[in-house]
Structure 1
Amino acid sequence: MRIDFLGLEAFVAIAERGSFNRAAAHLNLSQTALSHRMKKLEDDLGVRLLTRTTRQVTLTPAGLELLPRAQAVMADLTSSFVALRERGREQLERIAIGCLPTIAVAYLPVVLDAFRKAHPRVGVRVYDNSATEIAEHVQAGRAEFGLTIVAANRWDLEIRPLMKEPFVLVCPDRHPLARKVTVNWQALEGEPLVRIAPQTGNRVLIDDALGSRRENLDWRYEVQHVATAVGMARAGIGLTIVPRLALGVVDTAGIVALPLRNPGVTRTLGIVSKRGIPPSPPAATLLDLIVSALRSAGAASDS
């Protein structure tokens, strides 16, 4: 037997308020609709629950028997709905995104400040990981989207390219190459170089662009982070090659960043998201702010 919860709701509202008129107003129904619900409930049960006169509504013996049980059922349902709604609100009040560490450090603080003004009660979890890890977070549903290096297409990810970012040579301002306007890769032969670990994704891009010419370079040091590589370049230990926007997260005193030629190496930054799943409204706001900030940063770097 199917339970007529709408009928029970109508019955409890009438019984507690002693009036069809007051019950209809409470449930935001017309009196006709309320009467239909009660008739259907009584027809399903095969008994009368209410006696209605021009002046009052009274409960029949069957109605008196049913009322406390119906009240308990409706109270339990209400409690369950409230708990589920609160849980849903808690989930909506925290979103998660992925972002490359260099971009996260340089640009997310300003973006999150603007986001906080638009959504003051929404928290943000940032997976500031490598490009590979960001793709995994998005695929697994842990992050709604990721700002990362656009790599090979994945069938279950939507990819939205935003901008191409060049790699630059970082050297001490006292180095002979610091006086150049641009630097050819051939000029780096014989120079000790600091490279960044391959899991960042940047190293693969450089190796692919150079091809066999990478074997002519002296990759003497390897580090895990851009800030470490730049610090070593500042100290004169070795030169390093980093994405241009990454310089926004380091102290640039005492160093020079120079464009590289023959070949020029770039990486494409973009947004990855789960195919067919739109972002939640707060995540969509955050995404727009990130895209705007990143494009402004790219335009400023080009000027």
Structure 2
Amino acid sequence: MLYDLTDLQVFIAIADEGNVSRGAERCHLAASSASLRMKNLEEAVGVTLFKRQARGVTLTAAGHVLLEHAKRCLAQLEQMRADLVPYGQGMTGHVTVFANNNAISTHLPDDLARFFKAYPGVRITLEERLSHDIVGAVVDGRAEIGVVALESEHPALEFLPYRKDQLVLLTPIDHPLAGKGATSFASCLGQPFISLQSGAALHTFLMNHANALDGRLDVRVQVSGYRAIARLVASGAGIGIVPRTAIERSDRGRLAIVELVEQWAQRDLRVCIPKQPSEKNVYRDRLVDILCHFGKPPVVGRASSTG
């Protein structure tokens, strides 16, 4: 390779500034040195990257392509540096966890706090995904632990009980559905909904069930969390569906909670892990013990049995 990271940094700076001198100054170089680097870079890649003009420079079509790749490369290198920093600061391990929105918004924060108290040197990457996507990620090795709400299983994974929850309907206190002990999801479809944002697991889940009924969810407002759904429902803006455990005590007197009769409203959260993990990770196993034995003594020996 006939160019280096500094060449790419100078190229990006000049492209952003539209001027060789200002780009060179941003990189703490002389304009002549930056200009020479760009000449050598163009020779190395075999294309013209800049159109030289009296008042500055603009990118050619090839220059735009290189700019996109160069920014991506430098961003990945910066991420690599950031990922390595914790190891220099005493990090002893790392675990990747994929979980659905329900688990992340309710149970996982307290359980992870218990884990960090026991293992302060370990870092956890936690990402929200749909349950079906989580299963695929654990099978492929992109996640070491998954937290899902699925009845189906996968032959390569072990599924362990985590928490029981229930999706419930929230309505304003004076809403026609508020006086019912339970109602069907179909009876809700004609009402304006307060929903999580598109792409959230629960939003996709409810959209799919509405489609299965040949109906649609009339989404009036989309928000980022369950707390916002409860507050908007209490204000009379619409109705919403959330996990029962996500309802805060302060909200219970301001809105009505109605059970859904559908079987899918019962949300049994489970932890999934590989039956034969490709690599041993004792901290993964200890986190699984904390998640799956809440209030019970941890299982001794899981690290050796699954590692």
> Which residue is equivalent to 2:281?
280
Using a 3 Å threshold, how does the CA distance of structure 1 residues 199 and 279 change in structure 2: closer, same or farther?
A: farther
Number of aligned residue pairs:
208
> Which residue is equivalent to 1:223?
222
1:107 and 2:107 equivalent?
yes
> Which residue is equivalent to 1:232?
232
CA contact (8 A) 1:95 1:144 kept: yes
Gaps of 5+ in 2: 1-86, 297-307
Give the superposition deviation at 1:249.
11
TM-score using structure 1 length: 0.53
Q: 2: CA distance between counterparts of 1:294 and 1:105?
A: 20
| Structure that is richer in helix per residue | 1
Equivalent residues in 2 for 1:74-89, closer than 5 Å:
none
Give the superposition deviation at 1:155.
5.0
Give the superposition deviation at 1:269.
1.6
Q: 2: CA distance between counterparts of 1:133 and 1:173?
A: 37
CA contact (8 A) 2:162 2:291 kept: no
Q: 1: CA distance between counterparts of 2:117 and 2:193?
A: 44
Give the superposition deviation at 1:202.
3.5
Give the superposition deviation at 1:221.
2.9
Gaps of 5+ in 1: 1-86, 296-303
RMSD: 4.0
Give the superposition deviation at 1:145.
0.5
Greater Cα shift, 280-289 or 161-170: 161-170
> Which residue is equivalent to 2:291?
290
Greater Cα shift, 188-197 or 206-215: 206-215
Q: 1: CA distance between counterparts of 2:264 and 2:135?
A: 26
| Percent identity of equivalent pairs | 20
Q: 2: CA distance between counterparts of 1:294 and 1:196?
A: 31
1:8-60 deviations in whole A, cap 9, x for unaligned? xxxxxxxxxxxxxxxxxxxxxxxxxxxxxxxxxxxxxxxxxxxxxxxxxxxxx
TM-score using structure 2 length: 0.53
Look up the equivalent residue of 1:147 and give its one-letter code. Answer: V
Q: 1: CA distance between counterparts of 2:145 and 2:263?
A: 32
Q: 1: CA distance between counterparts of 2:116 and 2:217?
A: 46
Q: 1: CA distance between counterparts of 2:161 and 2:175?
A: 36
1:157-196 deviations in whole A, cap 9, x for unaligned? 4333545532210112333433332234465364323344
Give the superposition deviation at 1:122.
2.2
Q: 2: CA distance between counterparts of 1:252 and 1:134?
A: 32
